[in-house]
A and B are shown apart, each in its own frame.
Chain A
């Protein structure tokens, strides 16, 4: 789903990004990639391959740990750095893996309001955004509920509402379907399908990738090892097995060259 007039800049661009954690372990090594405006891209890879670390960079969360010369992260053409972090966070919304980490306020409504409040919006328009976002994820009646009393599916949708309330043009999702039951997963999938933002989805849920993402990137040990059309990558069984993945079940009943 492409948005109106194309801007020249890609939505997300990484230029040879490298990152080491404090104890010296290399999390990312020379990662370069581009995601164009309106694209929906799957980010695959085994546990510990650096997916979550990569996603945190898109939001400028690890800036103080970013070593000089460790590459560059550009969001809508703006380099992520101490000065641009605020605007970058407005552009790229991040959905965390554990909804309990992301829902840190006392009630769902307060939590959804957190982002818009940080944007400095007046109370009336904060309320409006909260209502709209909760409506969109189908949780309008649960605004007063404490996060602790929600199901995992409801928690995840509440998190999404919190991200959507900041109206980002890029959505970055970390394992959006982990821990969901089939119904919760289905609801989330159709919800994501209806959001016209650029999306980068890190996941182990290959069926989700087949359904949502025309293009995928495989990350292993902090390096990009493959980047191309989803079906092509997922049908390449040796490639998948080499990087701790497997050919998803849905594809085994499909023709390899077309959906």
Chain B
């Protein structure tokens, strides 16, 4: 299977991951004394956005959502020894953030798993990654439903109760996740799975 669509998409995904890693490394290695280099790297990032055809609005939304972390960290470093460098640091970090957001929009979990499988990552980790992604939304929905059911019967705004209620949602979520894990194991066995 040399040129099947699967192997081609796997190669594409591998290229995207490697490209993003290289770009982030390049940006990280940029010396603080050379802020202009960052401009050139910014163009590379823009090129990546164009090549991967990432829609701009969701991209901007993700970046804005995550940028407070960078701002906070940059401010923390502004208190530090090289107080004048914090702008460079913020720019550098933002460029990296855009790169990672582009990557996260451009690869799917299936492609990612195919890449990791080709890279000989242990099967146990792959199984765990795949199952996590499969049940992430199922459990998030369950958690939201439990939260709603709780708040429908919560009449006090006291913080103490809010904590106990939220904790019991999380606790029940774990119980349900373990019970579901049992049933998933049974379903896997029923179709001939061997550990």
> Which of chain A's residues 43-66 have a Cβ closer than 8 Å to chain B?
56, 59-61
> Which of chain A's residues 100-121 have a Cβ closer than 8 Å to chain B?
100-107, 110, 114-115, 118-119
Q: When the two chains form the complex, which single residue of B131, B134, B183, B189 contacts A89, counting CB atoms closer than 8 Å?
A: B189
Check: B130 CB closer than 8 A to any chain A CB.
Answer: yes
Q: Known contacts A100-B138, A106-B110, A148-B137: does B192 contact A89 (CB below 8 Å)?
A: yes
Residue of A nearest to B186 (CB): A61
Q: Which chain A positions have C-beta within 8 A of B29?
A: none
Q: When the two chains form the complex, which single residue of A56, A93, A147 contacts B134, counting CB atoms closer than 8 Å?
A: A147
Q: Which chain B positions have C-beta within 8 A of A90?
A: 192
A118 pairs with B191, CB closer than 8 A = yes
CA distance A148 to B134 in the complex (A): 8
A101 pairs with B134, CB closer than 8 A = no
B138 pairs with A89, CB closer than 8 A = no
Check: B164 CB closer than 8 A to any chain A CB.
Answer: no
Q: Known contacts A96-B183, A105-B130, A148-B137: does B194 contact A118 (CB below 8 Å)?
A: yes
Q: When the two chains form the complex, which single residue of B110, B184, B194 contacts A101, counting CB atoms closer than 8 Å?
A: B184
Check: B117 CB closer than 8 A to any chain A CB.
Answer: no
Q: Which chain A positions have C-beta within 8 A of B189?
A: 59-61, 89
A56 pairs with B188, CB closer than 8 A = no
Q: Known contacts A61-B189, A98-B183: does B133 contact A106 (CB below 8 Å)?
A: yes
B110 pairs with A107, CB closer than 8 A = yes
Q: When the two chains form the complex, which single residue of A100, A102, A118, A147 contacts B192, counting CB atoms closer than 8 Å?
A: A118
A115 pairs with B134, CB closer than 8 A = no
Cβ proximity bits A6-36 to B, threshold 8 Å, 1 near / 0 not: 0000000000000000000000000000000
Q: B111 CB to closest chain A CB, in angstroms?
A: 10
Q: B104 CB to closest chain A CB, in angstroms?
A: 16
A148 pairs with B138, CB closer than 8 A = yes
Residue of B nearest to A148 (CB): B137
B134 pairs with A105, CB closer than 8 A = yes
Cβ proximity bits B116-144 to A, threshold 8 Å, 1 near / 0 not: 00000000000000110111011000000
Q: B49 CB to closest chain A CB, in angstroms?
A: 25
Q: Known contacts A56-B186, A98-B183: does B131 contact A104 (CB below 8 Å)?
A: yes
Q: B144 CB to closest chain A CB, in angstroms?
A: 14
Check: A191 CB closer than 8 A to any chain B CB.
Answer: no
B130 pairs with A118, CB closer than 8 A = no
B110 pairs with A104, CB closer than 8 A = no
Check: A94 CB closer than 8 A to any chain B CB.
Answer: yes
Q: Which chain A positions have C-beta within 8 A of B133?
A: 106
Residue of B nearest to A110 (CB): B110
CA distance A60 to B183 in the complex (A): 14
Check: A222 CB closer than 8 A to any chain B CB.
Answer: no
CA distance A86 to B184 in the complex (A): 18
A89 pairs with B187, CB closer than 8 A = no
Q: B76 CB to closest chain A CB, in angstroms?
A: 38
Q: Known contacts A104-B131, A106-B130: does B192 contact A166 (CB below 8 Å)?
A: yes
Residue of A nearest to B185 (CB): A61
Check: B53 CB closer than 8 A to any chain A CB.
Answer: no
Check: A162 CB closer than 8 A to any chain B CB.
Answer: yes
Interface residues, chain A, with chain B CB atoms under 8 Å away:
56, 59-61, 86, 89-90, 93-94, 96, 98, 100-107, 110, 114-115, 118-119, 123, 147-148, 162-163, 166
Interface residues, chain B, with chain A CB atoms under 8 Å away:
1, 109-110, 113, 130-131, 133-135, 137-138, 180, 183-184, 186-194
Q: A59-B189, A90-B192, A104-B135 are in contact. List 19 more A-B contacts (CB 8 A).
A: A61-B189, A89-B190, A89-B192, A93-B190, A94-B187, A96-B190, A98-B183, A101-B186, A101-B187, A104-B187, A104-B188, A114-B188, A114-B193, A115-B192, A119-B192, A148-B134, A162-B191, A163-B191, A166-B191
What are 18 residue pairs bridging A and B, where the CB atoms are less than 8 Å apart in the complex?
A: A56-B186, A61-B189, A90-B192, A94-B187, A96-B187, A98-B183, A100-B135, A100-B138, A101-B180, A103-B134, A104-B131, A104-B134, A114-B188, A118-B193, A118-B194, A162-B191, A163-B191, A166-B192
